[in-house]
């Protein structure tokens, strides 16, 4: 079965073709991506209207490209999948509209995919895919969640952020440091030249006894620290010596990573599971990978990451999630082409999702 997947929830247009055969893990045949980062950079963040218009421009050429690269023709596609939510409404509508139009024109069924489930299952695109069950740390621009994952569509929320997401903490702190958009990778690059223990920043909810996160206070602490330094330097952040900026960046990164790693280890302990999957844009963070690898190696726990280039948004994870949902039988593709999108869509609403209290069996 061939699945064409389209991602357009935010600032990347992604298209991919995945093939699934029997019970084997589906295989990625080709994927293509257009990032809008350069376009939004001038505005310091994503401009939704511009994002939608750019998705319209890119999606069909990218679809043509992946079909050529996979050696498949449009009429060989069995299912057209698209990101139904969460994300920017206008941007989602582009992918949903194109997918449903393609489905209707080809007389093939369509399937709307949850963006976070795409991230969650993206490590299955790697050469060494994980096995169920596992603990998932989902860290993206809008979400920070720890989940117990027993199978496709069998997700039990263990903890999540009560305010900002980890990616947001990176992005907002980066903005305070004059690093532009997207802040996470830029802050992380700068941090490599600094000392993570230079400034004492809070580790919110580290000792809360549960698996929830909170990053809003950290952002405020970074702002307070930045103001102090600016006062002492008599200059705005852009004019500080590189070492100072790097120290603040490294201390911020250390605080975020510290909380993510410790809470993930707590989740592993609480569930008794011996496998962890990290997914979402922040999963590309070098320090997070290093520290989690070290902590897990000590306890003989396997860690799986998506390949680096598949950590941030892409079409491959959407095609993969669709293929895995179909393969496992938790969802069927339908020939209903009247689409809607879900800009806000908690993962817990997925049909097979379990209540936190229910047994994972
Ligand atoms: O998963 P993603 O591509 O989009 C969402 O679904 O939100 O994640 C984007 C987030 C942004 O906040 C970005 O700054 C962050 O992931 N990010 C990173 C790194 N690469 C991307 N944060 C820290 N270090 C990185 N290397
Ligand atoms: Zn994402």
- pLDDT tens string 323-348: 999 999 999 999 999 999 999 999 98
Residue 83, ligand 1, Cβ within 6 A:
no
Q: Is the pLDDT of residue 219 over 80?
A: yes
Residue nearest to atom 2 of ligand 1 (CA): 281
Whether 191 and 204 have beta carbons less than 8 Å apart is answered as no
Cα 313 to ligand 2 centre (Å): 5
Q: Report how far ligand 1's centroid is from the alpha carbon of 286 (Å).
A: 12
Q: Are residues 35 and 53 in the same domain?
A: yes
Position 74 scores a pLDDT of: 96
- What is this structure's pTM? 0.94
Considering 286, 305, 324, which residue would you say is the last residue of a domain?
A: 305
In short, whether 182's Cβ falls inside 6 Å of ligand 1 is: yes
**pLDDT computed for residue 87 by the predictor:** 97
Residue 358 pLDDT exceeds 60: no
- The per-residue pLDDT for 98 is 98
55 falls within a domain:
yes
pLDDT-derived band at 195 (thresholds 50, 70, 90) equals: very high
| Count of the separate structural domains present in the chain | 2
User: 280 in ligand 1 pocket by Cβ < 6 Å?
Assistant: yes
Q: For 14-50, what is each residue's pLDDT tens digit?
A: 999 999 999 999 999 999 999 999 999 999 899 999 9
- Residue ending a domain, among 268, 286, 305, is 305
CATH number for the domain including 294? Answer: 3.30.420.40
Domain containing 77: what range? Answer: 2-121+311-353
Please tell me whether residues 154 and 293 are part of one structural domain.
yes
In terms of domains, do 47 and 137 share one? Answer: no
- What pLDDT is recorded for position 97? 98
Do residues 259 and 317 share a domain? no
Is residue 280 assigned to a domain?
yes
**92 and 12 within one domain:** yes
**pLDDT tens column, 66-87:** 999 999 999 999 999 999 999 9
Band the pLDDT of 357: cuts 50, 70, 90: very low
* pLDDT class of 233 with cuts at 50, 70, 90: very high
Tokens of 119: 């991230």
State the pLDDT at residue 180. Answer: 85
Q: Which atom of ligand 1 is nearest to the CA of 142?
A: 7
Claim to verify: residue 346 and residue 259 sit in the same structural domain: no
Tell whether 281 and 344 lie within a shared domain. no
Q: What is the predicted pLDDT for the residue at 330?
A: 93
Q: Which ligand is nearest to the CA of 7?
A: 2
Cα 312 to ligand 1 centre (Å):
6
Residues 25 and 50 in one domain: yes
DSSP per position, 131-199: -SSEEEEEE-SS-EEEEEEEETTEEEEEEEBSSS-HHHHHHHHHHHTT--SSHHHHHHHHHTTS-TTSS
CA of 261 relative to ligand 1 center, distance in Å: 17
Centre of ligand 2 to C-alpha 312, Å, is 6
- Report the pLDDT value the prediction gives residue 181, as an integer from 0 to 100: 86
Q: Is 91 helix (H, G, I), strand (E, B) or coil?
A: helix
> Same structural domain for residues 13 and 95?
yes
Tell me, yes or no, whether 315 and 280 share the same domain: no
Q: So what's the pLDDT on residue 129?
A: 95
Residues 213 and 342 in one domain: no
Cβ atoms 144, 213 nearer than 8 A = yes
- Could you tell me if 324 and 152 are in contact, meaning their C-beta atoms sit under 8 angstroms apart? yes
Do 148 and 259 have their domain in common? yes
Atom 11 of ligand 1, nearest CA residue: 141
Residue nearest to atom 23 of ligand 1 (CA): 184
126 within domain boundaries: no
Q: Is residue 361 part of a domain?
A: no
């Amino acid at each position: 079965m061939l699945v064409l997947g389209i991602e357009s929830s935010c600032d990347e247009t992604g298209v991919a073709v995945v093939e699934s055969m029997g019970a084997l893990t589906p295989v990625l045949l080709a994927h293509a991506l257009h990032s809008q980062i350069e376009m939004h950079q001038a505005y310091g963040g994503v401009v939704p209207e511009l994002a939608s218009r750019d998705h319209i421009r890119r999606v069909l050429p990218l679809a043509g490209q992946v079909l050529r690269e996979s050696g498949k023709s449009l009429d060989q596609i069995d299912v057209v999948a698209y990101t139904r939510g969460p994300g920017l409404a206008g941007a989602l509508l582009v992918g949903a509209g194109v997918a449903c139009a393609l489905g209707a024109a080809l007389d093939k069924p369509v399937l709307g995919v949850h963006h976070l489930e795409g991230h969650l299952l993206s490590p299955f695109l790697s050469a060494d895919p994980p096995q169920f069950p596992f603990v998932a740390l989902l860290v993206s621009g809008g979400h920070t969640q720890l989940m117990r994952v027993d199978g496709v569509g069998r997700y039990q929320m263990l903890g999540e952020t009560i305010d900002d997401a980890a990616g947001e903490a990176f992005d907002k702190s980066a903005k305070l440091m004059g690093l532009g958009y997207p802040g996470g990778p830029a802050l992380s690059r700068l941090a490599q030249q600094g000392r993570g223990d230079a400034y004492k920043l809070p580790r919110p909810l580290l000792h809360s006894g549960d698996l929830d996160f909170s990053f809003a206070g950290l952002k405020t602490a970074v702002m307070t620290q930045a103001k102090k330094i600016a006062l002492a330097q008599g200059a705005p952040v852009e004019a500080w010596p590189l070492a100072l900026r790097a120290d603040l960046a490294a201390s911020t990164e250390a605080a975020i990573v510290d909380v993510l790693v410790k809470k993930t280890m707590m989740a592993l302990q609480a569930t008794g599971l011996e496998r962890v999957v990290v997914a979402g844009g922040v999963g590309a963070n070098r320090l997070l990978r290093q520290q989690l690898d070290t902590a897990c190696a000590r306890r003989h726990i396997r860690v799986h990451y998506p390949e680096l280039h598949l950590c941030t948004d892409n079409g491959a994870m959407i095609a993969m999630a669709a293929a895995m949902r179909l393969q496992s039988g938790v969802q069927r593709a339908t020939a209903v082409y009247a689409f809607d999108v879900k800009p806000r869509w908690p993962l817990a609403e997925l049909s097979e999702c379990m209540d936190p209290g229910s047994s994972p069996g």
